[in-house]
Structure 1
């Protein structure tokens, strides 16, 4: 994030805001950039059924609220867009025009991931980065990169936390860079 030095960053899915905080910290270190985050929190402790028909509890937010972990001193670079990314992402992208960095961490269904990747890719500047959390939940990220001939970079996150506390298999994040023309 710091090396890419993006000015316009869009994120779907905030929950408590741990990833948002990492992004905002990089923007602050670079002394430039703004993060727009879209989130539709789940207050039901049982989660909700996603568009693939799977119960998803990954975005259950306690009453403290969306973005509660984001420090106050980073919030001047942050705009929260409350709502469903299916509705809000096309609107926001049309408003912003070209973006430099997109991070998906919202509904992890194949359909939702592929839709968001496709929408963001159309607005991503040459050399821009498209990144996603939890890419092992579906094949969407791998297929998206594959059909475009892109070489994704994968990296695990919070191995101890996932294996011991969440009792899940290792989850990965991944990113691809949009080639420059020519």
Structure 2
């Protein structure tokens, strides 16, 4: 708690995020748990629909796909080495293979993501964007009190960084800026930041509004709460749910994908 306080005190531009977190904490302590924020219903809903990453790639792209670590062994081995040597523990490799092939399939040139950590998702997207002459803008606020600022995105090699912009802000500040910086409709949006219902309920509609027809919204950890399920039902789009390795129920986490229809 002390580390978080000092973190925000030293960074006045993060003050709106500090106040938002304070209001949310007070609300969680004083109010009944709102509908939709329990993990159980979200996890059961996702598990009933989930397919593997390979199946999802085949369904969405129409073909089988080689793993990123097989396609780019030298780059991937270097990324794993940098993550191993990083003194701060952050998020894992995620579904890098899925992100790479989805970005390549939609011939993405404008991609925004929230949540970076080591940067494995960023790396996968950048490898695809190198082939499509595209750009990635990532939003990631360092973990308060963890001292990880200099290590965010550490697995991304120098050769790919010219295609990448990293905005070190909370979603509430960084996501609108990232969308504006793209100067056009998004081809793909990857969400892996604020796990709370409110954060997702705010970010999904904003990104969806700026996504082109045929573009993809990809969200990690949709089993945390029903925000993704509720949003998919609200826009009346059938989601693809992917089962991925992680610390969730039965050793599984889930990723949700929505393709924006024409019109």
Q: Which one has the largest radius of gyration?
A: 2
Distance 2:224 2:174 in 1: 23
Report if aligned partners of 1:43, 1:63 keep a CA contact under 8 Å in 2.
no
1:134 aligned onto 2:221: yes
Deviations 1:4-62 (A, max 9, x none): 1111000011111011111111212x2321100011010435xxxxxxxxxxxxxxx74
Q: Scaled by the length of structure 2, what TM-score is found? A: 0.57
RMSD between aligned residues: 2.0
| 1:173 paired residue number | 255
- Unpaired runs of at least 5, structure 2: 1-102
How does 1:33-182 map onto structure 2 within 5 Å?
33-45=134-146, 62=148, 64-95=150-181, 96-157=183-244, 159=245, 162=246, 169-181=251-263
Distance 1:168 1:16 in 2: 25
Distance 1:124 1:138 in 2: 23
Report the CA distance between 1:94 and its aligned residue: 3.0
| 1:17 paired residue number | 119
Q: Which has the higher helix share?
A: 2
Q: May I ask how many residue pairs the two structures share in their alignment?
A: 160
Distance 1:134 1:16 in 2: 17
Q: Scaled by the length of structure 1, what TM-score is found? A: 0.80
Distance 2:249 2:162 in 1: 36
- Unpaired runs of at least 5, structure 1: 46-60
